[in-house]
Structure 1
């Protein structure tokens, strides 16, 4: 089944739907794929997919397959989370649900960590590409290792002001976007997918 959102647009380039309701994430992933000459589109407005997986990869597959089936197009999904080693890997899969807003998430993270000197952490991302039938055909993962600061630095969303990357000497919130894409887990996953993604999208599916 296809949705009307896609019916009136010419297929001059391979269509790829980003399976996310987060405009910031859609824009970020579209930017990572800019050089691939794809027609990148957001998922249908108002669509909400319950993330019931027990891993980032499972959630990415779930979102990609659902959006592919609904739109009849190729769909790419990402699932990411912050894992703080001193908190046993929390917030992990529940990073977005750790608190109600970005400031509250930062405040809770600092409160939960307290004065511990063990502040190593990692951002983890999994990406999945589903074909128009709704089957996952390509997957990749990326990891960025860093530390959690005791106070935010820089302006940015999510956990970016607290996540400090030794290689850059900056938090994600202080980095220019191109540097965040190069070092971040989502960018690493996207680059791992890129060599095969375009090839798959340009080959017609056998009926």
Structure 2
């Protein structure tokens, strides 16, 4: 039996790494976090561009395939903000939530969507796979739930009556932008591993 291929998650975000480890658990892969202290500057104008930048940088640094995601929240009333700047909107998750709720204080239009772009790259600079998933929802007036991370407590998924932070990991996988992107990625990744 051959050794499992190493796939490095191009992220320093523990919540994201944990989520990907769960999503990838059914594949013959050894999933590892990126090296500590590795910081890749996200200079892309889109989620897809940033995912590609991170995947290529981490693959080249580690010598292994790398999976990067760039995801974020786009709020209609804020012209798509925070968008690609979701993680840099404020220094911490509670501050980001507070800032976003404050920006929407006088606003009745609260529709928003999460996008997740995934990219798998090889150490030789090849982009192996790219997909994008999306989840529509509304921004709540107050945070609800204690599961998840980031904007999860204030993002209520359309037609569920619950925020991401009120959902189990399995539900989040089924409804979520990252889960949807992963559903597109998984069969492609399986094929890639099979022919490798």
80-89 or 164-173, which moves further after superposition? 164-173
Matched, 1:201 2:184: no
| Partner of residue 37, structure 2 | 46
**For 1:155 and 1:195, how far apart are their aligned partners in 2?**
31
Q: CA shift at 1:50, angstroms?
A: 0.5
Q: Deviations over 1:129-187 (max 9, x none)?
A: 11231211210000000000111111242111110113322001111111011111011
Structure 1 outlier segments of 4+, above 4 Å:
none
Q: Deviations over 1:72-126 (max 9, x none)?
A: 1111100001000011000001111111111111111111112211000000010
**For 2:60 and 2:195, how far apart are their aligned partners in 1?**
18
**For 1:23 and 1:102, how far apart are their aligned partners in 2?**
13
Q: Deviations over 1:9-61 (max 9, x none)?
A: xx721211111111211111111111112111111121100001110000000
What is the TM-score with the length of structure 1 in the denominator?
A: 0.90
For 1:36, what is the secondary structure of its paired residue? coil
| Partner of residue 170, structure 1 | 162
Larger Rg: 1
**For 1:45 and 1:130, how far apart are their aligned partners in 2?**
19
For the 8 Å contact 1:64–1:134, the answer to whether it is kept is no
> Structure 2 matches for 1:100-111, cutoff 5 A?
100-111=91-102
**For 1:83 and 1:91, how far apart are their aligned partners in 2?**
6
148-157 or 72-81, which moves further after superposition? 148-157
**For 2:11 and 2:194, how far apart are their aligned partners in 1?**
23
Q: 1:132 aligns with which of 117, 120, 123?
A: 123
Aligned length: 195
Matched, 1:113 2:104: yes
Q: 1:154 aligns with which of 131, 141, 145?
A: 145
**For 2:168 and 2:106, how far apart are their aligned partners in 1?**
30
Unpaired segments ≥5 residues, structure 1: 1-10
| Partner of residue 179, structure 1 | 171
Matched, 1:97 2:97: no
For 2:26, what is the secondary structure of its paired residue? helix
Q: CA shift at 1:191, angstroms?
A: 1.1
For the 8 Å contact 1:81–1:93, the answer to whether it is kept is yes
**For 2:93 and 2:17, how far apart are their aligned partners in 1?**
18
Unpaired segments ≥5 residues, structure 2: none
Q: 1:25 aligns with which of 6, 9, 16?
A: 16
